[in-house]
Amino acid sequence: MSKSPSTLRQALALIGFIVITFCAPLLGIFSKPDLWYDALNKPSWNPPGWIFEPVWSLLYLVMAVAAWLVWRRVGWGKALMFYFIQLALNAAWTPHGRRMDAAWTPHGRRSSLVRTNSAGRWQKSF
């Protein structure tokens, strides 16, 4: 029977998971949407801009706690390997996606078409 990690080790691991998880969106600080995003024609049900930061912060916190719970239950393994891979891809995508949108979109028109087309292809694949 394996001995469970000490309370101190578990607390430090939780803090570590939170810190590492919150490193992923840090790149977004340096690549915030510019005026091109404000110029997009958004639907009436589009949430207000101020809501995104608290919602994304909560999402990343829940992701960190979930990863920590996986670590507590099964230790380091494939699940956490995939978690950290998706976290790295998420970190890499944030500045890339925003640069791509800003470069490709005269007033957001192409961006909307690309996203609509991508979403359509994704739905057809199921």
Domain that holds residue 71: 7-124
Q: Is residue 112 part of a domain?
A: yes
Q: What's the pTM? A: 0.65
Q: Is residue 75 part of a domain?
A: yes
Radius of gyration of the CA atoms of the chain, in A:
19
Is the confidence at residue 125, as pLDDT, over 50? no
Q: Is residue 1 part of a domain?
A: no
Q: Which of 21-30, 32-41, 58-67 has the lowest mean pLDDT?
A: 32-41
Q: What is the DSSP string of 37-101?
A: HHHS---TTPPPGGGHHHHHHHHHHHHHHHHHHHHHHH-SSHHHHHHHHHHHHHHHHHHHHHHHH
Mean pLDDT of the chain: 76
pLDDT at 25: 81
Q: Which amino acid is at 6?
A: S
For the stretch 70-123, pLDDT in tens is 999 998 899 999 999 999 888 887 665 555 544 444 544 444 445 544 444 444
Domain count, the chain: 1
Residue 31 DSSP label = G
